[in-house]
Each structure stands twice: as structure tokens, then as C-alpha cells.
Structure 1
């Protein structure tokens, strides 16, 4: 592992993004999202993802097009992402949803024709800071097998919910696959193995080889219940117009629902009640020999605060070396 200062890491990602054709502002937007993942200990969605972005940009058959609003009402909108990376499309969708929810009390925004939308908690933390509660769901290429099967039919299909609270929002953000696409890609880059039971090869046999898993299918999370949730998330993402099984890394669906609590109740009072409720969860008596009970996002937020105080992150040497080549630093 290599130790990078936060400024070094940001500069490296930004250089790689501008080197792949992104403007300075877009490069900074992408870098901010990836650095937040690293700070929160989600390395597969951090600097390693920058490599995947550069590779995907170079592999695209045609240049990306501008993000466009293709349908709109007072409380909804649909975006065509123009094959832009999802970190940019997701922020455009979030900004539009917050604008409409602020004016109308709620909003639904969908986006299609995009890829790599990142950690949904990143968007929901911003929405919660602005006072909104919300949900984000995302569909993608068919790389996850339904319960009882060995062929891909779902995307890794993350779904997340966020609620305003103090000192941090209450956020639950999960993927509905046994292993996330970014994790498999990172293990393939580093020559590491998957955990048993996470994936199948192209013949439907269980595998711990990430390269074989990428040619086959990942397992689903949560058995038949997780499989049902994955199906629902895929259908929500498809509501944007995204394909059920797009080829390669393309046409991911992004579905955002935001609600201003003030449309239903006193917003400040709701914020306080969410805060008190979260504290009651943390105060739950733990099982014998167990550790303190946490609320989802607690570990992530605490890890980020620790990393910010330290001012550095640890990144795999192979990832740093490859990024430096992409950024033209070698």
C-alpha cells in the first residue's frame, strides 16, 4: 500500500480525468466523489474506479454527448446522460430533484444512458443536508444471477435511503449483489480472489476468480428476499427508459425520489425526531460480548472524520502506479 496526502490523491484523480477529456469542473466533481469513497474506506469505489472510468472513456465507440432533459413536469424530469459518466449525470439529477422538491414538496427524477453512478450515499448526504428525505435506486447491466440461478439477469442494483438528522444523516445504502462490480474489478487488478459463494463462471460453476466472474455472474445478496429486492430496483431504474440488459458498462438507470418533510409535517420537528430515534438505536443494549449498536452510515462517517484528521489515505501501489501513467505523471 502507498500513503498519499489528500491533496496528492485529488490532484492525481483530477489529472487522470482531464487527461481522459473531462473539463476542469467535471474532473473536480468526479474527484470529489471518488475521494469521498476513499475517505470512508470504500476503496473499490475510490481511486481504483478512476482507472475504470478512463478505460471506459477510451473504449467508447463515440464521444459522449451533453446531458439533456428529455421529459419534464413540475415534479419530475427524465435525463438522457449522453453516455457521460454517472458521477456527472447523478449530480445533475440530484440538483434538478432538489430544485423541484424545494418548489413542489417532492420530486422524481430519472436518468438513463449513463454508467458508474457511484455511491448513492454521496448524493443522499447532500440531499439530507438540504433538509430532504429521499431514495435512490439504480439498474445496470445483467451481471447478477437471481436466487437459484447462475446467469446474470440483474445489475448489482444499489438502493439507498437518506433522512436528515444531527450530527450526521441517517443513510442506508446497499448493493443487492453478493459482491459489487467495483470490488470484482479491483480484485482482478490486484490479482486477489473473491470469497467463496460470491460468483459463478460462464459455465455456471462457482468461482473465486474475479476474471471468470466477470465473464459469468455474481451471486445475489440476501437469498430469495434479496433477489426480489434486486428485481424491484432493476424495474425502478428501468423507469428512466434504461434497458433491462444493456451491453457492457452502459445505460445504467438512475432513479431519485426526494421529499421535503415540510410537505407533511413540521420539518424541524421531524429532523429532531429522526435524531432522537437514531440515538435510541445506538443506545440499544448489545448482545453479550458484542460491541455498541450502530446506525447505518455511522462507521462510514466516523472513518471519514478519522481520515480527514490524519490527512492521508492508503491506496494499493498498483492502482497509484496505473493512475500516474494515465495522468501522464510517469
Structure 2
């Protein structure tokens, strides 16, 4: 592992995305800020390793890199927008969709924005936090290719299908955000494990022949296991369909055609915003005060861990990155 200044990590990642990925500086900056934030929040599977996966995918794809300029608005109303991602990476498509949802919700009190035809969208918590900074409540879903097996099966039938709910508090950098994937591990975790030569957790994946595996290379050709048993499996099915409602296929093929759906509203349309945030703060403190199990850690609200890890990283000014990963990023940025 290498201790890297956050400013250096940003520079190295952005250079790699610009030079090897072909992104304009503004797009590379949006993607980089997302990836570095994931590292700061203690989510390396969604961090800088994903930049290499993005570049690898682009270099295998024909034609020039699709940028944010290629995203199309196909329909729009007072409280809604539909975007066609036009095969642009999802970090840029979801960012645009979330910005539009915030704009519409500020103007009308509520908004729904759907997007389709993109790949890789990153941590939904990042987009939910964009909304909470504007005192908006958001519910976000994203579907993808069938790479996760339903409960009781060994073949992929839905995506890793994350969902996220974001709720504002009086502290802009400490909202309440619940962000989960409906698979036991995420696709980014498999790619990172393969890149670093490490094993996957037991019980997280199957080979294409339906046998349990911890080998990321065989898991890529097989399927991941679903989180939460039959309940998680049912939730994943509904997210797959919600992504379809946003414009994707219910069965996206390959690393393409994903769907993103964000529903957002201004709680001030129902109740004064200061009251909402104050009660959220009071409830959070009451929940944290719950007596923990003997010898267990203090009870936390969703996003507390992310907040604390990011605060520590920012104050320290550094993040810990696998040495081989930084070397690969520097090499891509020097091309």
C-alpha cells in the first residue's frame, strides 16, 4: 500500500482519464471527484481502481470516447426529464440526471428523472449527497446487466441493482444516506480483486457451471449471489423493472444499456424544512444513544461511517492506495 496525498490522487486519476480515456478535462474531473470521494469514504471497490476499468472498457470499444456532450434529453416536463445516455459512462449520465432532478425539485417541489443507455454509474450515495446539500430527499435506483443469481438459482437474472435513499440534516456534510447493492458483492469488487490478484469472499459468487468460487476470473463468467435471501432477491427484481421504466431493457446485454431512476422532493412542501432537519438530527442522536450489545461498537446512523472516514482522510490529507494501482494509473496518465 502507498500513502498518497489526496491532491496527487486527483491529479493522477484525472490525467489517466484524459490521456488514456480520452475524456475532456471537465468530464475527467467529474469522474475523478466521484472516485476519490469513494476512496476517502472507505469504499475502495468503487474508488480509483474503477478508473482503470473505465479506461480498459473504452480502449476495447470502437470509435472515440463518448462525453457528456453526447447525452441527449429526449423528453421534458415541469417535473420530469428523460435522458438518453448514448453509451456515455454512467458517472456523467447520473450526475447530469441528478443535477436536473435538483433543478426541477427546487422549482416544482418534486421531480422524477430517468436515464438509459449508459454503463458504470458508481456510488449512488454520491448522487444522493448532491441532493441533500440542497435540502432535498431522494430515492435512487439503478439496474444493469443480468450478473446476479436470484435466491435459489446459480445463473444471473438481474444486476447488482443498488438503491439509495438520502435525507438532509442540519449538517450539510453529514446527511442520512442509505446506499445498498442487492448483491453480496459488487461488480467493481470482482474487477478490483482480479486486478490486485486477491480472492473474493466465500459465498459471493458462482462459476458459469454453478459452482461456488472465490476466484474473480471465474466469477466474471458466472454469477454473483444475491443479498438478503428471498427478500433481497425480490427487491433486486423490482429495481430491475424500475430501471426498465427509466428506459433500459429489462435484460441489458453486456456492459451497456443500464438504467437510472431518481425521484426527488423538497420536504418543505409538506413541512417547514428547519423542522424536518431538526427532527432528523434529534432522531439520529436518539438512535445513536441506543445501548449496544455487550462489547459491541456504538450504534450508528446510515452514512456515519462514511462521514467519519472521509473526515479523517481529509484532515490527514492522504488516502492509502495499493502500490500497483497507483503505478498503473500513473502509467496511463503518461501515455
Residue of structure 2 equivalent to 1:16: 16
Secondary structure of 2:157's aligned partner: coil
Equivalent-residue separation in structure 2 for 1:211 and 1:244 (angstroms)? 26
Matched, 1:134 2:135: no
* Contact preservation (8 Å) 1:110, 1:254: yes
Write the distance in 1 (CA, Å) between the matches of 2:261 and 2:224.
23
| Distance (whole Å) between structure 2 residues aligned to residue 91 and residue 38 of structure 1 | 18
Residue of structure 2 in register with 1:124 after alignment: 128
- Helix, strand or coil: the match of 2:112? strand
**Contact 1:155 1:234 (8 Å CA) reproduced:** yes
Instruction: Give the TM-score taking structure 1 as reference length.
Output: 0.98
SS of the equivalent of 1:242 reads coil
In the superposition, the TM-score normalised over structure 2's length comes to: 0.96
4+ residue stretches of structure 1 with deviation over 3 A? none
Q: What CA RMSD, in Å, does the superposition of the two structures yield over aligned residues?
A: 1.1
Q: Of 280, 289, 293, which residue of structure 1 is paired with 2:295?
A: 289
Q: How does 1:232-243 map to 2 (within 5 A)?
A: 232-243=238-249
Tell me the secondary structure at the aligned position of residue 131 of structure 2: helix
- Select the residue among 290, 293, 315 that pairs with 1:309: 315
Give distance in 2, aligned partners of 1:304 and 1:173.
16
Q: Kindly report which structure 2 residues correspond to 1:312-323, keeping only aligned pairs within 5 A, or say none.
A: 312-323=318-329
| 2:180 corresponds to | 174
Aligned to 2:29: 28
Q: What aligned pairs does 1:1-330 form with structure 2 within 5 A after superposition?
A: 1-19=1-19, 20-63=21-64, 64=66, 66-167=70-171, 168-328=174-334
Q: Secondary structure at the match of 1:99?
A: helix
C-alpha separation in 2, matches of 1:3 and 1:266: 45
CA distance in 1 between partners of 2:278 and 2:134 (Å): 15
Flag structure 1 segments of 5+ consecutive residues without an equivalent.
none
- Give 1:235 shift: 1.0
SS of equivalent residue, structure 2 residue 59: helix
In structure 2, distance between residues paired with 1:143 and 1:170: 29
d(CA) in 1 for partners of 2:33, 2:201: 30
Give the secondary structure class of the aligned counterpart of 1:224: helix
Helix, strand or coil for the counterpart of 2:73?
Answer: strand
